[in-house]
């Protein structure tokens, strides 16, 4: 079945070159009225040279991107068990509500009287987030998880400054299992990072943490449930310790999906936590974003929340609540000292609409069920696969994701990446590979709650058969994978060593 | 619940396989005192119809831009987006994919990224582009920080024409790092004022063109001055469509170009999600923030694309990363790419011309209104006007008449000392009737 | 690369069973409020047994149909040169306008005052159709091409009845090259069909037609451009002859795309012609419909147009036109004698919106360009392929489609179907096979105007290489095709001999 | 033009390859007198924005059902359709495919068809279903014609409860074939009256339940009478959702079941496109109109689906075909299938219950209004009411108050002699407020 076609297609799999190869700089898929052609007012700054941007008519554009799309895997095609990423189903109602004219066709700087529903929506979203997390304040504007971390850490910095300790407290404790954004964020805030080792059972080493506490510690950044898919049993101790030491507790909430509706971070002593709306609350990942990272804040940090702030006047003459936005420090209540602004405008409104739609759909009961089913699915895979893959932190229970590694296959030389690539042929997106870094050859499997048992069983069957195949010594099979994906294994080293980051006429290779 | 496939039978079977009696046993590690006994005090699940109604009600409490005579820009622009763009970005394979960590099954996303990077580079006259930032304002902050890294200096100078939100965003980010931000006073047309603030500690000068008052500026003389001091020239923008008509920042000497790409492919969305554009010179790529796609070969020697240069990024470099950004603006970037592909050079140029002509028409119509002075002389599609009453009052009075006439500068920057200045914008979506309605309403309001 | 995966998937190609195999009768993807449960008023007719209908949650439903969709070819994937079907690009603006609340959420029986825009749209569509075709009347309600034929032939029957000749004139002349719907329609109207042979150059044999004329002839049904992709040179003679003989000229307008904006059927003597909005005016085929078949009528037939009829009152007090619908004979103008009703309500509104959107987008100039580019593309393929495939009616010019056959490959035993199946592997939808019936082993290629030259060139290259391969005697290659499609060649005989038209629990085969 | 990829260069190159000088030469076969010299007198091409505006303006001259208190059924029903349905049917692979003539690359469409046929069969209690007809009314006409073919008789009897448009459609079609249509007088609840019209010439009796007045009827005794005369029992319906709650026609002895499937998956669309359902017994499949998908095996023995039994169809059998239908309702059928898959038995049953309860609530609320009498006793979600003023006037007066209260029977059948009867319908989309608004408005109108 492996013959070369003349067209370059393989049945329904369509070959497609770059737009620079198929397009044309005179072609366009947009018809516009002819300009009238009067004198311009560009002050002589009119462009002098051609851009060389190719265009395509609409039929060609459709075809180009439809063909490309079919080279992608997606949740809608199958299980996407990428640990730490919470690739759950994206309800289509959310796409519809986000496109309502009253949300999508709204400029962020319209007069406040014309955007009352938008601010009310932000207020409702805040209410849901605060009730769910048990926290007193939230900053909605961060644009993704890492931006939420930045927001939370800046709030901490502002609180320290208010105490006059920002120059003193410059060290942030970060467990070795943390996501890369945590240390990167701490540094972006001007802190230094001090790594806290983990225990043999995959949690923060409390003794080690204790030892690292001191008057120069600003905060600890702990992910909970953590990146090994485990709940930090001693989370309250962590909170108590850091508080006693005069620092703050930043919690990375990327894994909030495991506990939403069952456990409130506010009850655990957390001072700041970002929530990835694009994980727990299902706004689509879109091949890399956009996301949204609202950050909840404790009473200690609430006064420093960044601009804009939502204010509600319940006492208006009309009897209806009147919403407004404080966009400058002077517009905020006297007791508030916003540390600044995370971005232009008010945050990811498109994601707010989707997330609120999601929350209302599930409700309090449904969200709790989300957490429970997510945890159940992960533990089910942990149980099904444990005999076949090494679970570095034991048989569980885990939270929303199951962690394995490739130690069982050392002798055969089959590594995590090889399993990942073999899964491509089996029609699966692999688990997260080589993260968290504390586990050598980590395979982090997060099925999420939107997977039926049937799909988990099929995945387990495939995983088990791959383990057996690896054990049988068929290493070559793994190294040659993938064979059935749109391309064979790609040379990432070459890409990094000889970076080609854009198409250039002279560099054009043959259309594939 | 319609999104949860496990049945009660499944759940009990699975608990059996796991070897526990109840779901509670799986939460054994949670301190008992922290386990909620009942449900959080929020409404329970609702059907699609009910939820749709709830959102519809909220949406109807807003006045959509398209239902007014609409002249607001200042960092977000109302352009017509072809229907095919939204159709394509909603394809499951794009919408419900993750960041392309497994390139062999993400060639769709990756090839589109590579196309995007090339389009952005061409458009801005730069050598390379990254795979997008959150938005224009954070791209601008990242540019400031990158310049500090490249030059190992700790001062960044902003021109008086940079969008105030951008300045505030960059200030928030930079000050945390100890990078000093020096901002020239707000000025309709005086980008060159930055040269007076320049010194040998300066990492970069950030100039916006078209600036927040609509003024377009020749960056070349500024760039020469900046380079002479060993600093980087950063060009910022908020209206991508402008580059269909005006000279690219790259051609005028910029080292880093950052700005907002929303105009192309992305709806107003009350401010987000948008897509930050970020381009620079090849020699700086190792200091560039954010993801980037690159070309490579597969095991059969066939061309393919991967995310690359990840040794700059947080997931590899952690505390030494060039930025903490992880999730960026994938789908907005895709919308940009598709819309730009539909436009092509021919479409973009014409679109830009139309915008410029509409803005001239607007400027001329408003100039005729008593009490109005058009302040911006060289512009693309935005102008600042001075009115004879407080700007915010004028805006509110216009809104009551169904005209969204722009934004008062005082809303963006209360301290600018420009309380009677309004920023207005015209695009291809404005009709002659819209412009006439604006002029007529303004006449009444200022009377 | 041809290994068996454990999952049954092949890379991105996902295996998927029937909903009856993956679903469950307790599962649902729709949440509804609980019924209150009072006494019913069903009079004892409540359902007694279970339906056994399986359900799926939304994530499973999405996945099921997304997976299935990827087993389809479509215009958006590539060239779809299915002759006689006019598979052109479907603009997405049309999908958007059709979904506007003011059209999609409109009940056909709403008070007329609340649907003024809908009737105005139908009136505008009529105006475009009448101007383009040069005809005086149009019936919008037919639901597809065949239904339009039915409408036109019923109008002819009504006109004959009005002349008292409907019992006498019962014979309808239909060329042998006609589409199957033509004879089927004639018979459905109670006529008998008399086949008119074609000439060696693929047109109606005028002499033969003349010979068949007589006092019992009701009409002639001629497709123009005809199903061989040729313009009936003698179309005016045909019209004159049938009119002189006292019959009517029904023109099958399925191929109107070739002449839209350049030639008006009204100038050719046509009495009735249906227009497939789902061909010429690009409403999407949707895997088999829905279509719409508005039928234009000459002055002779106009009085008999079926209900409902649009009426416009331009004299209303408001100064605005007031639209209404005559839904019963008594509501029609006195000079009109509607022959009846084609269907409930007013026709395919969803298609009307799309077609009008399409017309406005192209405009008069663009529609003419449509015809010209369609004809140019077809002639280009005719020229490119003529040396390699036999063109039974010579080197053209053709209209919008190029006709070939498989006579060149008789010796090698490679037949039209084999070429078709080989094209599947090359990533193309084949041409129309074995139609028109007058050409043995016909291959009818209609590229349409929305194909770029680049795609035609690649297709020609593939076609030529297949011709060479066939000539080389590699018959086995063709007989084994397809190899790269989602399934291998399907046994159609088996399906017809042992019909399995639905899933049944006992008949369930293994999920594939 | 944005949809036309050929450039001027392409065109002249291609003309060269063809060997002609101009496009006119390709139209050589057209009689010169018939070649238009100039353009047809219609506006020229417009951009998306302009066209969108044009359509938007027309759309806004209508009052969408959802903006009113809406109680209109009578053959078309306003149900909530999950957002995922429209998302899926808009996938390029479904939307822009043709009828599955090449089954190897149309397994998506074909498998969905097979699922549809099975769902319809299960729902209607029949053995087999075809792949859809244009709509309910044409399906009903086809049923009449099929019965005539099967029985070789030429008379078809319609009950007085069949939707008047269906009767008119069938009459138009049947009379052309010389099939006599005998219609019982319009009656709220007297389907059994058909038995009195039955004779040995009768090919079929067509009864609707729920009928156009909302009445549901036990078909079994009628079917017995019909079968005793060697005729076929045809059951017609317009509201598919009913079968979530009431007995299937198949279980009550129907030989052919036909009706409208719009309720499931398809919007109101001002009357079309809809989807006709058509099911029958296995023994009649060779007389069944329309396409049908069947299961088979591929060359590797793997299951696959194809269109089959095409020897019944026009493209093979031409003048001997069972029907002239070709293009049917593909995408509407797909929408039906997807929505039905989302519902499943559990969802459909609940949906039906909700509809029934809303209708009871409506009936009770209207019954309390002075001047109103509820005529329908056994119903699913539709009722006929008699009002104390001419029905059409009442409907118009209600519309002016934002209530679409149903349809006057006189609009459907002016000769029914029911000038004071209104058909109303309630579905899950009606709120308590809607019902209260209707009752209040009706009270005022009838006062
Ligand atoms: C544990 C953890 N923290 C932080 C992040 C960063 O979130 P984002 O990608 O939204 O910036 C991620 C997401 O990848 C994560 O998994
Ligand atoms: C020549 C011709 N006539 C009639 C028809 C019937 O049109 P429809 O499928 O819309 O009923 C077709 C379409 O296949 C056709 O090609």
Contact status of A92 with chain D (Cβ, < 8 Å): yes
Nearest CA to ligand 2 atom 5: C145
In this predicted structure, what is the pLDDT of residue A2?
Answer: 57
- Asked if A447 contacts A381 with a C-beta cutoff of 8 angstroms, the reply is yes
* C461 vs C348: CA distance, rounded Å: 40
Q: Tokens for D443?
A: 């009270």
pLDDT band, residue D447 (cuts 50/70/90): very high
Which residue of C41, C74, C368 is in closest CB contact with D96? C74
Query: Which percentage of chain B shows pLDDT scores above 90?
Result: 97
Q: Which of A151, A135, A150 is CA-nearest to residue A306?
A: A151
Q: Residue C507 above 70 pLDDT? A: no
Is there a contact between B208 and B162 (Cβ–Cβ < 8 Å)? yes
When pLDDT is averaged across residues D189-215 and rounded to a whole number, the result is 97
Pocket test for ligand 1, best of A80, A143, A146 (most atoms within 8 A of CB): A146
Number of neighbours of residue B263 by Cβ within 10 angstroms = 27
D279 contact C CB<8A: no
Residue D230: count of CB within 10 angstroms of its CB: 11
C468: Cβ contacts below 8 Å, ≥ 6 apart: C388
B&D contacts, CB < 8 Å: 24
- Percent of chain D at pLDDT exceeding 90: 97
pLDDT computed for residue B314 by the predictor: 83
Chain C hits for D30, Cβ within 8 Å: 231, 259, 262-263
B49 and D CB contact within 8 Å: yes
Residue C25 in tokens: 């009768």
What spacing in Å lies between the alpha carbon of D146 and ligand 2's midpoint? Answer: 22
pLDDT averaged over chain D? 97
How many other CB atoms sit within 10 Å of the CB of residue B354?
24
Q: Kindly list the partner chains of chain A, i.e. chains with 3 or more CB atom pairs below 8 Å.
A: B, C, D
**CB proximity under 8 Å: B 1-20 to D:** 2
How far apart CA C197 and CA C208 sit, in angstroms, is 7
* Predicted pLDDT of residue A505: 87
- D45/C47 Cβ within 8 A: no
Rounded CA gap, A426 and B128, in Å? 36
Q: Please report the pLDDT score of residue A319 as a whole number.
A: 79
Interchain pair C32, B47: CB under 8 A: yes
Written as tens digits, the pLDDT of chain A (512 aa) is 457 899 999 999 999 999 999 999 999 999 999 999 899 999 999 999 999 999 999 999 999 999 999 999 999 999 999 999 999 999 999 999 999 999 999 999 999 999 999 999 999 999 999 999 999 999 999 999 999 999 999 999 999 999 999 999 999 999 999 999 999 999 999 999 999 999 999 999 999 999 999 999 999 999 999 999 999 999 999 999 999 999 999 999 999 999 999 999 999 999 999 999 999 999 999 999 999 999 999 999 999 999 999 999 887 777 789 999 999 999 999 999 999 999 999 999 999 999 999 999 999 999 999 999 999 999 999 999 999 999 999 888 999 999 999 999 999 999 999 999 999 999 999 999 999 999 999 999 999 999 999 999 999 999 999 999 999 999 999 999 999 999 999 999 999 999 999 999 864 444 43
**Cβ <8 Å between A57 and D83:** no
Q: From the CA of A191, how many Å to the nearest CA of chain D?
A: 46
The closest CB to that of D47, out of A12, A32, A56, belongs to A32
Mutate to test the pocket of ligand 1, among A80, A84, A348 (most ligand atoms within 8 A of CB): A84
The two tokens of residue C238 are 């045909």
- DSSP state string for B342-353: HHHHHHHHHHHH
Measured between beta carbons, which residues in chain D are less than 8 angstroms from residue A76? none
For residue A480, count CB atoms less than 10 angstroms from its CB and return exposed for 0-12, middle for 13-18, buried for 19 or more: middle
Element (H, E) at C195: strand C192-196
Contact A155 CB / ligand 1 (< 6 Å): no
> CA quadruple A128, A129, A130, A132: dihedral positive or negative?
positive
Q: Is the CB of C285 under 6 A from ligand 2?
A: no
- In this prediction, what percent of chain D has a pLDDT beyond 70? 100
Measured in Å, residue A486 CA sits from the centre of ligand 1 at: 28
Let me know: does C454 contact D9? Beta carbons within 8 Å: no
Instruction: Please tell me which residue, C313 or C1, carries the higher pLDDT value.
Output: C313
Residues of A in contact with D87 (CB under 8 A): 92, 95
DSSP states of B85-120: HHHHHTSHHHHT--SSSSGGGBHHHHHHHHHHHHHH
Residue A402 is predicted with a pLDDT of 98
Contact C215, C243 (CB under 8 A): no
Q: What is the 3-state secondary structure (H, E, C) of A146-194?
A: HHHHHHHHHHHHHHHHHCCCCCCCCEEEEECCCCCHHHHHHHHCCCEEE
C contact chains, 3+ CB pairs < 8 A: A, B, D
Of the candidates A83, A336, A79, the one whose C-alpha atom is nearest the C-alpha of residue A223 is: A83
The pLDDT of residue C512 is: 39
Mutant choice from D2, D83, D91 vs A, greatest count of A C-beta within 10 A:
D2
Kindly tell me if the per-residue pLDDT of C510 is higher than 60: no
Q: For residue A459, what is the nearest residue in chain C, using CA coordinates?
A: C7
Residue with tokens 């119809």: B49
Q: Which of D112, D262, D326, D404 to mutate to test the interface with C (most CBs of C within 10 A)?
A: D326
| pTM, 2 dp | 0.98
Is the distance from the beta carbon of residue C353 to the nearest atom of ligand 2 less than 6 Å? no
Where does the pLDDT of residue D169 fall: very low under 50, low under 70, confident under 90, or very high at 90 and above? very high
- Of B401-410, C352-361, D100-109, D306-315, minimum mean pLDDT range: D306-315
Q: Where are the alpha helices (DSSP H) in B152-252?
A: 164-176, 194-197, 220-228
- The average pLDDT across C295-316 equals 94
Q: What is the share, in percent, of chain B residues with pLDDT greater than 70?
A: 100
Return d(Cα A121, Cα A359) in angstroms, integer. Answer: 12
Q: Taking Cα atoms as reference points, which of A266, A286, A282, A297 lies closest to residue A352?
A: A282
Which tokens belong to B105? 């099954």
Torsion of CA C423, C425, C426, C428, to 10 degrees: 50
Task: Work out the pLDDT band at B185, boundaries 50, 70, 90.
Answer: very high
Residue A254 Cβ inside 6 Å of ligand 1? The answer reads: yes
State in Å: Cα A181 to ligand 1 middle.
7
A387 touches chain B (CB under 8 A): no
pLDDT in tens, B276-319: 999 999 999 999 999 999 999 999 999 999 999 988 888 888 88
pLDDT of residue D405 exceeding 70, the answer is: yes
Q: Which tokens sit at C410? A: 């008789």
A60 interaction partners in chain D (CB closer than 8 Å): 5
pLDDT, average across residues C83-97:
98
Contact (CB<8Å) D291/C347:
no
Average pLDDT of the residues in D164-191:
97
Sort residue C90 into left (φ over 0), alpha (ψ -120 to 50) or beta. Answer: beta
Q: Is the pLDDT of residue C234 over 80?
A: yes
Q: How far is CA D129 from CA C364, C501, D305, in A?
A: 44, 8, 15
Contact at CB, B2 and C31, closer than 8 angstroms: yes
A90: closest chain D residue by CA: D84
Q: Are A485 and A124 in contact (CB under 8 A)?
A: no
Instruction: Evaluate whether C191 touches D178 at the Cβ level (below 8 Å).
Output: no
CA of A183 to the centre of ligand 1 (A): 12
Q: pLDDT at residue B123 above 80? A: yes
Distance A256 CA to ligand 1 centre (A): 11
Q: If residue D257 lies in a helix (H) or strand (E), which one and from where to where?
A: strand D256-260
Whether A295 is in the pocket of ligand 1, judged by its Cβ within 6 Å, is no
Ligand 1 center–CA A213 separation, angstroms: 26
pLDDT at A444: 98
Residues forming a β-bridge with B303: B297
Burial group, residue B135, by CB count within 10 angstroms (0-12, 13-18, 19+): buried
Q: If we measure between CA atoms, which residue out of A68, C416, A88 comes closest to residue B3?
A: A88
Chain A residue at shortest CA distance from B85:
A62
Query: Which residues fall within 8 angstroms of residue B37, CB to CB, at 6 or more apart?
Result: none
Examine the pLDDT at D255 and tell me if it is beyond 50: yes
The secondary structure of C76-120 as a DSSP string is TTS---BTTS------HHHHHHHT-HHHHT--TTS-GGGBHHHHH
Nearest-angstrom CA–CA distance, C38 and B3:
29
Interface test with B, best of C31, C54, C94 (most B CBs within 10 A): C31
């Amino acid at each position: 079945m492996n013959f070369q076609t003349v067209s370059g297609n393989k049945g329904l799999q369509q070959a497609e070159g770059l737009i620079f190869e198929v397009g044309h700089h005179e072609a366009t898929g947009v018809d516009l009225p002819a300009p009238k052609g009067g004198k311009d007012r560009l002050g002589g700054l009119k462009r002098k040279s051609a851009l060389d941007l190719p265009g395509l008519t609409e039929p060609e554009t459709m075809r180009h991107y439809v063909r490309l799309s079919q080279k992608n895997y997606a949740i809608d095609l199958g299980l996407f068990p990428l640990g730490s990423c919470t690739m759950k189903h994206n309800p289509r109602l959310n796409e519809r509500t986000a496109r309502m004219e009253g949300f999508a066709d709204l400029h962020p700087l319209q007069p406040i009287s014309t955007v009352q529903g938008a601010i009310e929506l932000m207020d409702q979203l805040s209410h849901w987030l605060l009730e769910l997390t048990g926290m007193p304040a939230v900053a909605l504007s961060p644009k993704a998880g890492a931006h939420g971390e930045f927001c939370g850490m800046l709030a901490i910095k502002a609180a320290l400054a208010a105490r006059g300790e920002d120059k003193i407290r410059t060290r942030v404790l970060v467990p070795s299992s943390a996501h890369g954004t945590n240390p990167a964020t701490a540094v972006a805030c001007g802190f230094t990072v001090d790594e806290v080792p983990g225990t043999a059972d995959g949690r923060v080493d409390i003794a080690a943490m204790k030892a690292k506490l001191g008057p120069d510690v600003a905060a600890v950044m702990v992910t909970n449930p953590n990146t090994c898919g485990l709940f930090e049993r001693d989370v309250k101790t962590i909170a108590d310790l850091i508080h006693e030491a005069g620092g703050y507790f930043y919690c990375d909430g990327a894994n909030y999906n495991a506990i939403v509706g069952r456990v409130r971070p506010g009850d655990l002593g957390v001072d700041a936590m970002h929530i990835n709306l694009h994980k727990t609350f299902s706004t689509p990942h879109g091949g890399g974003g956009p996301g949204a990272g609202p950050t909840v804040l404790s009473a200690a940090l609430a006064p420093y929340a960044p601009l804009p702030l939502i204010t509600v006047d319940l006492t208006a003459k009309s009897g209806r609540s009147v919403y407004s936005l404080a966009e400058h420090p002077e517009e905020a209540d006297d007791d508030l000292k916003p540390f600044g602004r995370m971005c232009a405008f008010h945050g990811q409104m498109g994601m707010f609409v989707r997330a609120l739609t999601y929350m209302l759909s599930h409700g309090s009961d449904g969200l709790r069920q989300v957490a429970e089913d997510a945890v159940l699915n992960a533990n089910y895979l942990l149980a099904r696969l444990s005999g076949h893959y090494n679970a570095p932190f034991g048989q569980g229970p885990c939270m929303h994701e199951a962690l394995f590694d490739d130690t069982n296959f050392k002798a055969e030389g089959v590594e995590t990446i090889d399993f990942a690539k073999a899964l491509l042929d089996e029609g699966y997106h692999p688990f997260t590979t080589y993260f968290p870094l504390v586990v050598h050859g980590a395979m982090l499997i997060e099925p999420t709650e939107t997977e039926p048992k049937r799909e988990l069983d099929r995945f387990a069957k495939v995983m088990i058969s791959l383990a057996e195949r690896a054990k049988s010594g068929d290493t070559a099979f793994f190294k040659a994978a993938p064979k059935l994906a749109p391309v064979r294994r790609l040379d990432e080293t070459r890409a990094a060593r000889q970076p080609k980051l854009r198409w250039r006429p002279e560099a054009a290779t043959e259309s594939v | 619940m319609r999104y949860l496939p496990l049945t009660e039978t499944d759940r009990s079977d699975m608990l059996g396989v796991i070897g526990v009696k109840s779901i509670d046993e799986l939460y054994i590690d949670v301190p008992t005192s922290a386990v909620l006994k009942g449900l959080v005090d929020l409404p329970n699940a609702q059907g699609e119809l009910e939820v749709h109604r709830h959102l519809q009600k909220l949406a109807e409490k807003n006045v959509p831009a398209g239902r007014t005579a609409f002249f607001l820009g200042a960092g977000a622009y109302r352009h017509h987006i072809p229907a095919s763009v939204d159709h394509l970005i909603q394809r499951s394979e794009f919408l419900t994919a993750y960041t392309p960590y497994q390139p062999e099954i993400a060639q769709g996303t990756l090839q589109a990224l590579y196309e995007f990077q090339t389009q952005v580079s061409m458009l801005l006259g730069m050598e390379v582009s990254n795979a997008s930032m959150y938005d224009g304002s954070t791209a601008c902050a990242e540019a400031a920080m990158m310049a500090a890294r490249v030059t190992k200096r700790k001062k960044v100078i902003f021109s008086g024409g940079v969008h105030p939100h951008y300045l505030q965003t960059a200030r928030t980010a930079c000050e945390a790092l100890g990078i000093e931000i020096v901002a020239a006073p707000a000025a309709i047309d005086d980008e060159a004022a930055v040269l007076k603030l320049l010194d040998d500690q300066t990492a970069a000068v950030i100039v916006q063109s078209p600036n927040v008052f609509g003024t377009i500026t020749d960056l070349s003389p500024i760039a020469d001055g900046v380079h002479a001091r060993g600093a980087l020239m950063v060009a910022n923008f908020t209206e991508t469509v402008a580059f269909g008509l005006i000279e690219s920042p790259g051609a005028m000497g910029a080292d880093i170009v950052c700005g907002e790409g929303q105009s192309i492919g992305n709806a107003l969305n009350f401010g987000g999600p948008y897509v930050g554009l970020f381009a620079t010179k090849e020699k700086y790529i190792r200091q560039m923030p954010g993801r980037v796609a690159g070309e490579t070969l597969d095991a059969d020697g066939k061309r393919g694309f991967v995310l690359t240069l990840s040794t700059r990024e947080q997931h590899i470099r952690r505390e030494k990363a060039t930025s903490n950004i992880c999730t960026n603006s994938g789908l907005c970037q895709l919308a940009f790419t598709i819309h730009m592909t539909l436009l092509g050079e021919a479409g973009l140029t014409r679109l830009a011309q139309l915008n410029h002509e509409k803005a001239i028409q607007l400027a001329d119509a408003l100039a005729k209104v008593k009490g109005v002075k058009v302040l911006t002389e060289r512009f693309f599609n935005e102008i600042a006007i001075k009115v004879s009453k407080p700007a915010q009052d004028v805006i509110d009075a216009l809104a009551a008449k169904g005209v969204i006439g722009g934004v008062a500068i005082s809303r963006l920057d209360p301290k600018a000392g420009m309380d009677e200045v309004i920023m207005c914008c015209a695009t291809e979506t404005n009709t002659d009737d819209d412009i006439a309605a604006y002029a007529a309403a303004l006449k009444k309001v200022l009377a």
